[in-house]
Amino acid sequence: MLIQIKKINLDDLAQYATVPMAFEVQSVLKVDQIQDGLGGLALREEKLETPYIKDYDADFGNTPTLWAGQFDLQNWGIFLGIQDNQPIAGIAVAYRTPDTDLCEGRDDLAVLWDIRVHPHYAQRGIGSQMFQHGVTWAREKGCTQLKIETQNINIPACRFYAKQGCHLGSIHQYAYQASPDVQHEMMLLWYLKLQIPV
């Protein structure tokens, strides 16, 4: 299913935010330490007895309508996926944004800040279209690497990023210890090497 993808400005963030960012957590990735970690780490999937709904916008208080008040968005590429004049997907890619630690102060690193597809349009290839659009934008900015943060409770996202060619580069088991509501979650950082066209 092909969709129209358009770049939006700050005035359109409310429209972007109408695309839900919630999903059902049915299983999580647990870390097994081999020889106390010296032999490496192994991830295994563990099914939950009681699934629950995770809503990134509500849980983190970080809905797109608040981004402009939290970050300097001048170097962000924010795109909306449109079908029948309705927003059904979105992607935001940041680079050269000193006020976010994820960018690491690097000019060659882009961060996939947000990607979402309306649940009514899931499993139709729309996420891949949005992802590739973000990758193209990052390449055009001269970035050589794309970085993506997700959590061990979002296994569908992990599978999606792996399918897009990303590799898991870091597992931070204690990243959210200061946030009681999510301190049980682990940060997973995915990376994609970007080939710059010659």
The residue with greater pLDDT, 164 or 197, is 164
- CATH number of this structure's domain 4-19+58-193: 3.40.630.30
Burial label, 195 (beta-carbon count in 10 A; 0-12, 13-18, 19+) = exposed
Residue 122 has pLDDT above 70, yes or no: yes
Q: Which two tokens stand for residue 171?
A: 């597992």
Confidence of residue 9 (pLDDT cuts 50, 70, 90): very high
**Amino acid letter at 126?**
I
Count each helix (H run) and each strand (E run) in the chain, helices first.
5, 9
Beta strands in 34-75 (DSSP E): 41-55
The reported pLDDT for the residue numbered 197 is: 57
Q: With H, G, I as helix, E, B as strand and everything else as coil, classify residue 141.
A: coil
The reported pLDDT for the residue numbered 43 is: 95
The reported pLDDT for the residue numbered 23 is: 94
Task: Give the global pTM.
Answer: 0.93
Q: Which residues pair with 146 in a beta bridge?
A: 110, 192
Cα within 13 Å of Cα(37), Cβ side = 4
Confidence of residue 166 (pLDDT cuts 50, 70, 90): very high
The reported pLDDT for the residue numbered 198 is: 56
Residue 38 has pLDDT above 70, yes or no: yes
Find the mean pLDDT for residues 64-85: 94
Find the mean pLDDT for residues 63-90: 95
Please state, in angstroms and rounded to a whole number, the distance separating the CA atoms of residues 67 and 141.
21
Buried-exposed string 132-144: b where 16+ CB fall within 10 A, e elsewhere: ebbbebbbebebe
Backbone angles phi, psi at 184, to 5 degrees: -80, -10
Closest CA to 2 of 86, 163, 122, 125: 125
Q: Can you give the residue ranges of every domain in the chain? A: 4-19+58-193
Counting residues of the chain whose pLDDT is more than 90, the rounded percentage is 86
Residues 135-155 pLDDT 10s? 999 999 999 999 999 999 999
